Chain A
Amino acid sequence: GAVVSQHPSRVICKSGTSVKIECRSLDFQATTMFWYRQFPKQSLMLMATSNEGSKATYEQGVEKDKFLINHASLTLSTLTVTSAHPEDSSFYICSARDPGTDRNIQYFGAGTRLSVL
Chain B
Amino acid sequence: GQNIDQPTEMTATEGAIVQINCTYQTSGFNGLFWYQQHAGEAPTFLSYNVLDGLEEKGRFSSFLSRSKGYSYLLLKELQMKDSASYLCAVLDSNYQLIWGAGTKLIIKP
**Chain A contact residues, CB within 8 Å of chain B:** 1, 6, 34, 42-44, 46, 91, 93, 103-111, 113
Residues of A within 8 A of B97 (CB): 34, 46, 106
**Is the beta-carbon distance between A108 and B42 smaller than 8 angstroms?**
yes
Bound-complex Cα distance A34 to B101 (A):
18
Interface stretch of the complex, out of B15-23, B43-51, B56-64: B43-51
Bound-complex Cα distance A34 to B89 (A):
15
How many residues on chain B are close to A (CB under 8 Å)? 20
Q: Could you jot down 14 A-B contacts, CB within 8 Å?
A: A43-B99, A43-B102, A44-B99, A46-B96, A91-B40, A93-B43, A104-B48, A104-B91, A105-B33, A105-B48, A107-B45, A108-B35, A110-B41, A110-B42
**Is the beta-carbon distance between A93 and B33 smaller than 8 angstroms?**
no
Residues of A within 8 A of B35 (CB): 108
Q: Does B87 lie at the interface of the complex (its beta carbon under 8 Å from any beta carbon of A)? A: yes
Q: Closest Cβ of chain B: how far from A89's Cβ, in Å?
A: 14
Bound-complex Cα distance A27 to B12 (A):
37
Q: Closest Cβ of chain B: how far from A2's Cβ, in Å?
A: 9
Bound-complex Cα distance A34 to B30 (A):
18
**Is the beta-carbon distance between A104 and B45 smaller than 8 angstroms?**
no
Q: Which residue of B lies closest to A97 (CB)?
A: B95
**Is the beta-carbon distance between B42 and A93 smaller than 8 angstroms?**
yes
Q: Which residue of B lies closest to A102 (CB)?
A: B50
Bound-complex Cα distance A44 to B44 (A):
13
Residues of A within 8 A of B43 (CB): 44, 93, 108
**Is the beta-carbon distance between A44 and B41 smaller than 8 angstroms?**
no
Given contacts A43-B100, A105-B33, list 10 more A-B pairs with CB under 8 A. A43-B101, A44-B43, A44-B87, A46-B99, A93-B43, A104-B91, A106-B45, A106-B97, A107-B45, A108-B42
| Given A43-B87, A43-B102, A44-B87: A1 touches B95 (CB 8 Å cut-off) | no
